[in-house]
Amino acid sequence: MLKKHVFFIITFYNLLFAYAQNVYIPSAENIKAREEFQNDKLGMFIHWGVYSLMGGGGETKIGEWIMENKKIPVSAYEKLPLNFNPVQFNAKEWVAIAKQAGMKYITITTKHHDGFAMYNSKVSDYNIVKSTPYGRDILKELERECKEQGLKLFAYYSQLDWHHPDYYPRGWTGRNTERPEFGDWGKYINYQNAQIKELAENYDISGFWFDGWWDQASHKSAWKKRKDYRINHNEADWNLEETYRIIHSVKSNLLIGNNHHEAPFQGEDFQMFEKDLPGENTTGFGTSSDDIGQLPLETCETINGSWGFNLMDNNHKTVEELIKYVVNSAGRNTNFLLNVGPMSNGRIQNEHIESLRGLGQWMDKYGETIYGTRGGPITPSKEYVVTQKDNRLFFHILDKATKVITFQSQKKIKKIIQYDSKSHIKFKKKGKEVTFTVPSSNDVVTVLEVVLKNK
C-alpha cells in the first residue's frame, strides 16, 4: 500500500512539474485521434481562394503565390473578391471525388498567405461570405458533406499574411504589397488567434495545418536565395504555445501540425513534410532527417506542379506516380496528402478527377495493405517498401527488375502469397534470413503478403 501511495505522489508531482515547465501532455482523446490519423493514410489537400481567378497569370509555376510573385498591392488585390463567384462549387461532389479516390480526410485552405478567409469569419469581413458576390460559407458546406460521407475535415491556416496591416515587421515575403512600413505585431497575433479560435469552435474539424511560420525565420539563410535582401531583425515571436493552448482548450483531440520545416515544437500532434518523403529534403528547404520526431507523419504533394489553380500547368502526375507516392509514404509510416487546386468556377479539373479515379481503383484493390498499417520493419528502398499490420508484412515491389528478395525475420514464416491472386510463393529460411523469388505481374506495383507465425 505504501508503494502505491509513493507512486501516486511522485506521479502527481511529475505532472505538476510538467505543467509548470509548459510541457504539452496530450489527452487520451488526442492520442486516440493521432492513431486514427495514422490509420487513415490518405487525404486530399485543397488549395482554393480568390487567386484561382488569375490562374497563375500566364506562368507555369505561379498559383496561390501570385500576389507576392507579381508584386500586386493590397488595393489592387482586393478587387479579386468582388469578382469571385464560384457558382459551380458543389461540396457533395468534391467530397465524393475524394472518397472515391480512397481519401479518408480533406485539408482545405481556410486562409492562405493573401489573408482572404474562405469561411464566414466574424473577426474580419475580408472573407468569402461578406466580400464576394457568392456569399456562401464553403467551409460549412464541406463540413456538413464530410460528416455525411464519413470523411474528416482539417483546416489549413496561414500564419503569414500579405494583407493585414499589423503583420509587421515584414518577413521574407509580402514586401511589395504597398502597406505602410509600420504595424503592431501583438495586434496581428490577437487577430490570428481569434480566427483560429472561431474555426475550432464553430466548425466540426479534426485539426489544423499551419503554414507561414518560416516567413519570420531569419536563421533560414537558404530559404529565399533569389531575394536581394535578408531579414535584419530578430524573429517575431509567434508565441505558438499560446496558439496551440487555445486550440486544445476548445477541443483537446484537435490535431495540430505546422509546416515550419523544423523538429516538432511543443503542442504539436503531427509532423508534415512538404513535397518530400521524410528526411529526403530534395527541395532544399525541407526538414532534415535529424529533425524527424516521434509524432505521426504526413507528406504533401501536388497532383500537377502547382498548389493553386494554374491554366498553364499541364505537368499532371500519372496514376502510376500517385500510386507509388502512396506506397512510398506508407512504407515510411507516413500519410500522403495529395493536393488539387480547383478552378475559380468551383470545379476540379477533369484531368485530376480522372487521375484520382485511377488511384481510387488501386486503393479499392490494395487498400488493406495501406490503411491501418505502419511502415517497416524493413528499411525502404527504391526496389520495394514494406507495410505491416498485426502478423502480416506487405511487400510493395516498385522496381520491375527486382527478381529476388532477401530479408531478416526473427519470427517463423507461415506463408508468402501474391496478394491479388492468393497464389503461394516458395521461400527459403536459413536462420533469420528469408529468401524468395518475386513472381511476374502486370500491375503497377506487385504486392506480396508475408504471414508470420505468432511464435
pLDDT in tens, 301-352: 999 999 999 999 999 999 999 999 999 999 999 999 999 999 999 999 999 9
Query: What are the grid coordinates assigned to 271, written together?
Result: 509532423
- The reported pLDDT for the residue numbered 69 is 95
Instruction: Tell me the mean pLDDT in the region 219-234.
Output: 62
Band of residue 21 on the pLDDT scale cut at 50, 70, 90: low
Domain 29-374: assigned CATH number = 3.20.20.80
Q: Which residues contact 374 (CB under 8 A, 6 or more apart)?
A: 38, 333, 387, 388, 389
Asked if the model's pLDDT at residue 114 lies above 60, the reply is yes
- Out of 1-15, 153-167, 187-201, 395-409, pick the least confident: 1-15
Report residue 227 CA to chain centroid gap. Answer: 27
Instruction: Tell me the mean pLDDT in the region 397-402.
Output: 96
Q: Rounded to an integer, what distance in angstroms lies between the CA atom of residue 172 and that of residue 215?
A: 5
Phi, psi of 325 (to 5 degrees): -70, -40
Band of residue 2 on the pLDDT scale cut at 50, 70, 90: very low
- The reported pLDDT for the residue numbered 232 is 63
pLDDT tens-place string over residues 336-350: 999 999 999 999 999
Q: Rounded to an integer, what distance in angstroms lies between the CA atom of residue 119 and that of residue 126?
A: 10
From first CA to last CA, the distance across the chain in angstroms is 37
Three-class DSSP labels, the chain: CHHHHHHHHHHHHHHHHHHHCCCCCCCHHHHHHHHHHHHHCEEEEECCCHHHHHCCCCCCCCCCCHHHHCCCCHHHHCCCHHHCCCCCCCHHHHHHHHHHCCCCEEEEEEECCCCCECCCCCCCCCECCCCCCCCCCHHHHHHHHHHHHCCEEEEEEECCCCCCCCCCCCCCCCCCCCCCCCCCHHHHHHHHHHHHHHHHHHCCCCEEEEECHHHHCCCCCCCCCCCCCCCCCCCCCCCHHHHHHHHHHHCCCCEEEECCCCCCCCCCCCEEEECCCCCCCCCCCCCCHHHCCCCCEEEEEECCCCCCCCCCCCCCCCHHHHHHHHHHHHCCCEEEEEEECCCCCCCCCHHHHHHHHHHHHHHHHHHHHCCCCEECCCCCCCCEEEEEECCEEEEEECCCCCCEEEEECCCCEEEEEECCCCCECCEEEECCEEEEECCCCCCCCEEEEEEECCC
Instruction: Tell me the mean pLDDT in the region 284-299.
Output: 91
For the chain, residues classed under CATH 3.20.20.80 are 29-374
How high is the mean pLDDT of the chain? 93
pTM of the model: 0.94
Q: Which residues contact 42 (CB under 8 A, 6 or more apart)?
A: 101, 102, 103, 104, 326, 335, 336, 338, 363, 370, 371
Instruction: Tell me the mean pLDDT in the region 440-445.
Output: 92
Q: Rounded to an integer, what distance in angstroms lies between the CA atom of residue 82 and that of residue 8?
A: 62
365 CB-side CA count, 13 A: 16
Instruction: Tell me the mean pLDDT in the region 402-407.
Output: 96
**CA-closest candidate to residue 101, choices 149, 170, 166:** 149
For the chain, residues classed under CATH 2.60.40.1180 are 384-452
Burial (CB count <10 Å: 0-12, 13-18, 19+), residue 373: buried
Is 127 in contact with 117 (CB distance < 8 Å)? yes
Band of residue 230 on the pLDDT scale cut at 50, 70, 90: low
Report residue 268 CA to chain centroid gap. Answer: 13
- The reported pLDDT for the residue numbered 217 is 87
Confirm or reject CATH 2.60.40.1180 for domain 384-452, answering yes or no.
Answer: yes
- The reported pLDDT for the residue numbered 376 is 87
Asked if the model's pLDDT at residue 436 lies above 50, the reply is yes
- The reported pLDDT for the residue numbered 14 is 43
Query: What are the grid coordinates assigned to 246, written together?
Result: 487555445
- The reported pLDDT for the residue numbered 284 is 81
Q: Rounded to an integer, what distance in angstroms lies between the CA atom of residue 335 and that of residue 371?
A: 10
